[in-house]
Amino acid sequence: MIDRLQQSLASNYRSHQTGALLFIDLDNFKLLNDTLGHDVGDMLLKQVAQRLKSCVREGDTVARFGGDEFVVLLEDLSAQTVEAAEQSKAISQKILTTLNAPYQLEKYVHHSTPSIGVTLFSDQLHSTDDILKQADIAMYQAKKSGRNAICFFDPQMQSIINARAAMEGELRLAIDQQQFQLHYQIQVNDSHQPIGAEALIRWIHPERGSVSPSQFIPLVEETGLILPIGLWVIEKACKQLKMWEKNESTRNLVLSINVSAKQFRMPDFVSQIRNYVQRININPRHLKLEMTESMLLDNIEEIIATMTN
């Protein structure tokens, strides 16, 4: 497949034609392997391969790239980028529809869906690795959009991916160097008397200054960095409450902190909270945990049990 892709890059450069690379990943394939076994999984892969071959033209290439990943190389598309995109989209849609049809795997009727990433190429400015990476990025974008979808690579997507990767590295450094701060937004009652505060995290970047939570919280959620950062917030909040207890005017304030779904679902979440409360020796009634309503959409019994503990 790599050899044919290299030939296609050279050929398109001479003929000014456009090619396309489709990166196809089977959604939830691991679940099939885990539940019905690898033999049944292999049967699905063989049937997917046959269906893919039936969707493309004679001069195109179908390859199994590894695991449940397939690559389709479309050649001799239109020299016009828009037309080439339409041609590759039509074939991708045909593949999507074909792979959505039910599979007979021995005694099992199985339904499988693909996520398809598409990238176009027309010259030798990019290496085969570049083309594969672009199609792979587009495929993950298709998965992110809800699976069973087709997504084209957007050059801007690459810069976004690079920026996110750089920020993830900076966030890991920020954890090590303690670049985060908690700010406190006062909460008052109807008589405008202070009754508590909400803890708001801020990232004080050494070069960019204060970074808004809206810029980094989605990333720390996605990467799992919310777990160490969340623990830091809990510890910092407990220490702040301990300081407030020493002052008569602040000792009864309630401090609210936001808890993410990932934090809440940690098996030792309750014990961690108890550990900080007991170690720092604060009144637990003064620590308020706030969660989003979306957490209540599933596992309601488990959520109630955790809250009760």
Same domain, 135 and 172: no
More confident residue, 159 or 29: 29
- Average pLDDT of span 166-184: 94
> Does residue 298 have a pLDDT over 70?
no
Q: Determine the Cα–Cα distance for residues 101 and 46; give it in Å rounded to an integer.
A: 15
**Residue that terminates a domain, selected from 133, 153, 173:** 153
On the question of pLDDT at 307 being above 70, the answer is: no
Residue 143 and residue 277 in one domain: no
Domain boundary among 122, 153, 184: 153
* DSSP codes joined into one string, the chain: -HHHHHHHHHHHHHH--EEEEEEEEETTHHHHHHHH-HHHHHHHHHHHHHHHHHHS-TT-EEEEEETTEEEEEEEEE-SSHHHHHHHHHHHHHHHHHHHHS-EEETTEEE---EEEEEEEE-SSSS-HHHHHHHHHHHHHHHHHTTSS-EEE--HHHHHHHHHHHHHHHHHHHHHHHT-EEEEEEEEE-TT--EEEEEEEEEEEETTTEEEPHHHHHHHHHHHSTHHHHHHHHHHHHHHHHHHHHTSTTTTT-EEEEE--HHHHTSTTHHHHHHHHHHHHT--GGGEEEE--GGGGGS-HHHHHHHHH-
Q: What is the mean pLDDT of residues 160-169?
A: 82
> Cβ(280)–Cβ(239) under 8 Å?
yes
Q: Average of pLDDT values for 131-150?
A: 92
Last residue of a domain, one of 129, 153, 177: 153
Q: Are residues 139 and 171 in the same domain?
A: no
Cβ–Cβ under 8 Å, residues 181 and 202: yes
- 119 within 8 A of 100, measured Cβ to Cβ: no
> What is the per-residue pLDDT across 95-131, written as a single tens digit (0 to 9) for each?
999 999 999 998 989 999 999 999 999 866 678 899 9
- CATH label of the domain that carries residue 85: 3.30.70.270
| Span 19-64, pLDDT tens digits | 999 999 999 999 998 899 999 999 999 999 999 999 999 889 999 9
Percent share of the chain, pLDDT over 70:
92
Which is it for the CA torsion 128, 6, 52, 44, positive or negative? negative
C-alpha 298/C-alpha 296 separation (Å) is 6
Q: Distance between CA atoms of 253 and 184, rounded to whole angstroms?
A: 12
Q: Give the separation between CA 102 and CA 13, rounded to whole angstroms.
A: 40
Query: Looking at residue 175, what is its pLDDT?
Result: 95
- Please answer whether residues 148 and 182 qualify as being in contact, where contact means their C-beta atoms are separated by less than 8 angstroms: no
Contact 254, 260 (CB under 8 A): no
If one counts the domains in the chain, the total is: 2
Give the Cα separation of 179 and 201 in Å (integer).
11
Provide the token pair at 136: 């792979």
Average model confidence (pLDDT) for the chain? 89
Q: Within this chain, do residues 58 and 165 fall inside the same structural domain, yes or no?
A: no
Work out the percent of the chain whose per-residue pLDDT is above 90.
62
Q: Are residues 127 and 168 in the same domain?
A: no
Q: What is the pLDDT of residue 302?
A: 67
**Same domain for 185 and 61:** no
Lookup: tokens for 132: 């594969």
* pLDDT bucket at 1, cuts 50 / 70 / 90: very high
pLDDT of res. 86? 86
199 in Cβ contact with 257 (< 8 Å): yes
CA distance 2 to 129: 9
**Tens-digit pLDDT profile for residues 180-212:** 999 999 999 998 999 999 999 999 999 999 998
Both 140 and 12 in a single domain?
yes
240 pLDDT higher than 90: yes
Geometric angle at alpha carbon 171, from 165 and 174, rounded to 5°? 150
What's the whole-model pTM score? Answer: 0.57
> Residue 303: pLDDT above 80?
no
Shared domain check, 221 and 136: no
Structural domain including 303 reads 161-308
- pLDDT value at residue 157: 56
**Do 120 and 175 fall into the same domain?**
no
Q: What is the CATH number of the domain that holds 223?
A: 3.20.20.450
Strand 150-152 and strand 114-121: the pairing is parallel
Q: Which two tokens stand for residue 70?
A: 């397939």
Average pLDDT estimate for 220-236: 92
Q: Are residues 89 and 193 in the same domain?
A: no
Question: What does the angle CA 287 – CA 288 – CA 292 come to, to the nearest 5 degrees?
Answer: 150
- Do 77 and 181 have their domain in common? no
- For residue 14, the model assigns a pLDDT of 78
CB 148 within 8 A of CB 33: no
92 and 130 belong to one structural domain: yes
Q: What is the mean pLDDT of residues 267-277?
A: 92
